[in-house]
Structure 1
C-alpha cells in the first residue's frame, strides 16, 4: 500500500510562499513552570528569534492549516483552532502526524501500519480509520508542528 502525494499543496489558509524576516525578542531564561530562578539574565539586543526559521524547515514545501478535529487529536497535542505547519517534503512514516485526504475531506491523524494496512489513529475514545488494502491513502504532508492559541 502506498501513500501518494498531490503535486500542489492545498490553499486552505494558503501556501507558505515568500517569507519576510520578522524576528522577535527572545527572552534568554526559560519559562519555569515551578519557581523561577532569580539569577537569570533577561534578554539582550542580540537575543532574537525568527518564527519562520524556527517553525518552517522547507518553505516551498510547507503549507498552513487550521485544525478542526472535534477533539480527536488532543492526546497528540492538537486542539481545535490550532495552526498546523505541514511539510510536504517529509516522507510520512509510522508515528508521524499527517494531513491526508480521506473521503473527500482533509483529516489530521497519527499514521500507523497494522499488518499490511495503514491506520489513521485518533485520541482515546475515537475510532481509528483503517484504510482498506485496495485504497491508496493520499497524504498531503506531515505535521511538523502546531501552534496552540490560548486567547
Structure 2
C-alpha cells in the first residue's frame, strides 16, 4: 500500500523550487537538432520563440524539489547518472512505471515503481541490481515522483 509522503527531506535535497522565481525566457530554436546537415536557409528562431525553464519543468513549485543523484549506477538504463540533478514533484500521485523517490530500509532510493497485482516492486535501471520486492502486507512510502533529469555535459562549474 502507498502511504502519503513523509514531511522529512532526504539527504541530497538541494532545495525547493522557488515559487516566486522571476521569469527567465531564453531563445528557443524552432528547428529540432538533426544528426545530418541542417539547411542554412532555415530561420533558427523567431523573435517570440522563448522557453522559461521554471514554467516548462516545474508544475507545482511549492511541492517541487531539486535533488542530486548519488554516485551509484543502478539507474543508468533509465537515463539517471551519478551527479545528475533530479526535479522531484511531491504532489504527483505515483503510478506504475514512474521513476520515484521511495523510502526503503530507513533511507531514500530512486527507482522505477512497478505494480504486480497487489504487490509493488522497485526496479533499478541496471541488470546488476535486482528489483526490490515489497511484500503485499508491507507499506511502501513514496516521497515524490521524478519529473525531470538534468545532466551537465561540460564538467562541473566552479
**Structure 2 residue corresponding to 1:143, chosen from 136, 141, 146:** 146
Q: State the Cα RMSD in Å.
A: 1.8
Residue equivalent to 2:29:
27
* Whole-angstrom distance in 1 between the partners of 2:16 and 2:2: 25
Q: Which residue of 2 aligns with 1:13?
A: 14
For 1:34 and 1:4, the matched residues in 2 are separated by: 48
3-state SS in 2 of match to 1:110: strand
Q: How does 1:1-151 map to 2 (within 5 A)?
A: 1-7=1-7, 10=10, 12-17=13-18, 18-68=20-70, 70-123=72-125, 124-151=127-154
* Structure 2 residue matching 1:81: 3-state secondary structure: coil
Paired residue secondary structure (2:55): helix
Gaps of 5+ in 2: none
**SS of aligned partner of 1:75:** helix
Which deviates further from its counterpart, 74-83 or 16-25?
Answer: 16-25
Question: Using the alignment, how far apart are the partners of 2:42 and 2:9 within structure 1?
Answer: 43
Gapped runs of 5+ residues in structure 1?
A: none
The normalised TM-score by structure 2 is 0.86
- Counterpart-to-counterpart distance in 1, 2:128 and 2:8: 34
Which SS does the other structure have where 2:87 is aligned? strand
How has the CA–CA distance of structure 1 residues 33 and 9 changed in structure 2, closer, same or farther, with 3 Å as cutoff? farther
Superposed CA deviations along residues 109-148 of structure 1, whole A, max 9, x for unmatched, are 0000123221000122211111233321111111111112
- 2:51 and 2:108 map into 1 onto residues whose CA distance is 32
Change (3 A) 1:77 1:44: same
Measured in 2, the distance between the counterparts of 1:112 and 1:29 equals: 36
